[in-house]
Structure 1
């Protein structure tokens, strides 16, 4: 009985092979000539080998998780205006007469008296910069008595075809510039514009103050401008552009969204607001300090923690540490910071910081085009002098055209088109493409399709039915 059953099973298999939709196996079975059988076997082996090579490569390409970058341009009816942070490079308004300004003047005179070796001016200005930052943290609560007030700085303000004033600005404190002021910083009410051009943008005319030979310890003066997303905190260490007095500066904006694919395509931080996403102390501390994660701030924090590990104290940056007792002093601490800061860029710690700080999956960048023109004209300077004398009782001390030109500036920040770009990553190969590759190579090389696979199950089912029918008999 066993032999008839095995013969029946063999017949089912041979019949299925002979009438299979794949091309190689049926021809091997049907060919009566040994030479023809050998030819078909060789052809089947060669085509199967090539098919295996192509399929292996397809699987490698899919599991390498490569991406393609797509650039799209989208025009919209409205676009969010960025947050504008403006800082006076003169951290102190020495024209204000009080105890704090007198203390600042005496400190400046003391620093200048220490500048005896003119060949070491780089070292001297590093100390001056450090002195300003350290004291800005120490006297943060008293800066209202010595810093430039927004009402004094702001000569004129227009936004989106309407006039604006000092009430539209929010105070922001910087350890480098002292009192800074932010426009459009309310996260719950972000301003939008629907027209391009200067009139729809933000136009500011600012009074900066006058340089003083006796007290100023600056290399340059003017204003520092930050253009950023409302959810980010600007850093004076590596962001912003400088604005010079006597000029009107046009800043033309273009906005770009960057969207990266998360794991397994990259190690980017998918949720910039959640400290639970990545188990990294640096990641969580960045969100704690800045309210939102971004790679640049994380790397900056890593650098400051490296200085703390080496020196036992922090560099005076208010965004990183607000505790003055943990800030490096101006003597031993400053020397330690200077030595290790110079060696950091060439150390392996710098590379480790980048590895510990993943890139954001989603980010917004603003590209700037900048141009300048002379400002103000003699006629407009007369207007400013008259306005200041009548409205502000001459508080800015405008007395001549050159006097106005050296102490004022204008800046226009606007979009030249109501649109933005999207730089988006897409998988180079999707699961649908992988399936198509598998079917294509199987069909091309050995003539196999989905129905060819069904034929295998057909043979198995017929054998099972044959076995049960024999058993019942």
Structure 2
């Protein structure tokens, strides 16, 4: 009985191999010549080896989680207009004529008197910029006495074929430029446009003021413009473009959505508001300070945190701190900051910032194309002079064409097409492609298909049934012998 079962199992296996859809094994069994058996065995080993190599490579490709980037352009009936923030490069309006402006004038003259070595101008303007940021935090409650009011700056405003005014702008305080103003910054009511071109975009005409050699501590004057998503806070450290007086600047905006794949394809974070999506204190603090996460703000915050670690105080940026007690003073703290920032770019700290600040999976970027024209024409300047004289009692001092040209500028922000570009990542190899590779290589190399796998289970099932059959026969024989 014990010898019969192995023989029957062997017969089941050989029968299944001979009838298998795989060609190598049946041919080895059926061949009577040892030379032909050897030839089929050799071919089977070679094809099996090649199959194993191809399958290994296919699995490696799948588990490397590589991606392909797809770029598509999509036209829509409406598109969200970006938030536009403008600032006067003259952070203080000294013509307001109050105690604070007089104090500011005195401070500027005193600061200029302390600049004895005028040869190293880069260091001078670094110090001026740092000093202004420090003082802006110190006198933040009194800044309204010296800041440029929007009603004085805004000469004309049009958006989407209609006029707009100062009530359509939201106040924003910059540590570099003082008073700034944002259009389309209400997240609950984002404005959209459905037509391309200047008339459907935002057109601004701004009064900047006049340079003054006694009080101005700036390299340049004009306006600074930020074009950004409504959920982000612009930074004067690395964002924005400069606009010069006497010119009209056309800015053509193109919108691009970036969509990256999350883990295991990358370490990007999917929900920019969820503090638990990434295990980093810097990541969580970025959300706390800025309201929403983005990698650029996180890296900037990491830079400020590195200053704190080395110098024991913060760089005076109002986006980061609100309390002057946290800021580095203008003496020792400022010198420590200069020494640290000079070596930061090649330091280990800057490399660690990338690890602490993951990339966001979804982001919006705006690409800008700019062109310029002289502004205003002598004819158009006459309107400004008449308006200022009869309506504003000459508050802007528009008395000549050169005077108007020196102190005003225009900017037009618009889309040239109502659509956006989607840059989207897709897996280079999906699970369906992996299964197709497995089936393709097995079928090509050794002729195995899904049905061939079923034949293996068929053999196993027959062997199991054989054991049950023999067991039943043994029980019957034992029962007959007992009788």
TM-score, L = length of structure 2: 0.97
**d(CA) in 2 for partners of 1:276 and 1:65?**
24
The answer to which of 391-400 and 165-174 deviates more is 391-400
> Is 1:72 aligned with 2:72?
yes
**Whole-Å separation in 2 of the counterparts to 1:165 and 1:388:** 17
Distance in 2, matches of 1:463 and 1:353, equals 63
Residue aligning to 1:353: 353
1:293-442 equivalences in 2 (<5 Å): 293-442=293-442
Q: CA deviation at 1:331?
A: 0.8
List aligned pairs for 1:16-27, cutoff 5 A.
16-27=16-27
- Structure 2 segments unaligned to the other structure (5+ residues): 474-483
Structure 2: how far apart are the matches of 1:147 and 1:448? Answer: 79
Residue aligning to 1:461: 461
In the TM superposition, what is the alpha-carbon distance from 1:121 to its structure 2 partner? Answer: 1.5
Query: Any idea what SS the aligned residue of 2:86 has?
Result: strand
Q: 1:263-308: per-residue Cα shift (whole Å, max 9, x none)?
A: 1000111111111111110000000000000010000000000001
Residues 177-204 of structure 1: per-residue CA shift (max 9 Å, x gap): 0110000000000000000000000000
Q: Does residue 471 of the first structure (1) align with residue 471 of the second (2)?
A: yes
Distance between the aligned counterparts of 2:307 and 2:470, measured in 1? 84
- Which residue number in structure 1 is paired with residue 215 of structure 2? 215
Q: How big is the shift at 1:8?
A: 1.3
* Pair 1:280-2:280 in alignment: yes
Partner SS, residue 307 of structure 2: helix
1:107 aligns with 2:107: yes
With normalisation by structure 1, the TM-score equals: 0.99
Shift of 1:143: 1.1
> Are 1:35 and 2:35 counterparts?
yes
1:117 pairs with 2:144: no
1:469 Cα offset (Å): 1.3
Matches within 5 A, 1:63-212: 63-212=63-212
How far the C-alpha of 1:430 sits from its partner, in A, is 0.3
Asked if 1:444 is matched to 2:444, the reply is yes
Task: State the Cα distance separating 1:42 from its structure 2 match.
Answer: 0.5
* 2-structure distance, mates of 1:305, 1:5: 77
The match for 2:4 is 4
Compute the displacement of 1:467 (Å): 1.5
Distance apart, 1:410 and its partner CA: 0.1
Stretches of 4+ aligned residues off by more than 3 angstroms: none
The residue number in structure 2 matching 1:50 is 50
Instruction: Tell me the matched-pair count.
Output: 473
How many Å apart are 1:176 and its aligned residue? Answer: 0.4
Give 1:353 deviation, angstroms: 0.6
Q: Which secondary structure does the structure 2 equivalent of 1:354 belong to?
A: helix
Work out the CA distance in 2 between the residues paired with 1:360 and 1:465.
Answer: 58
Post-superposition offset of 1:363? 0.3
CA distance in 1, matches of 2:28, 2:262: 49
How many angstroms apart in 1 are the aligned matches of 2:266 and 2:120? 47
- Mapped to 1, the partners of 2:297 and 2:469 lie a distance apart of 75
Unaligned runs of 5+ in 1: none
Alpha-carbon offset, residue 104 of structure 1: 0.7
Aligned equivalents of 1:337 and 1:466: distance in 2?
Answer: 84
- In the alignment, the residues of structure 2 paired with residue 8 and residue 297 of structure 1 have an alpha-carbon distance, to the nearest angstrom, of 74
In the alignment, the residues of structure 2 paired with residue 150 and residue 89 of structure 1 have an alpha-carbon distance, to the nearest angstrom, of 14
* Cα-to-partner distance string for 1:95-119 (whole Å, 9 max, x where unaligned): 1100110111011101111122221
Q: Deviations over 1:191-242 (max 9, x none)?
A: 0000000000000000000000110010000000000000000000000000
Task: Output the CA distance in 2 between the equivalents of 1:83 and 1:193.
Answer: 13
Moved more, 443-452 or 350-359: 350-359
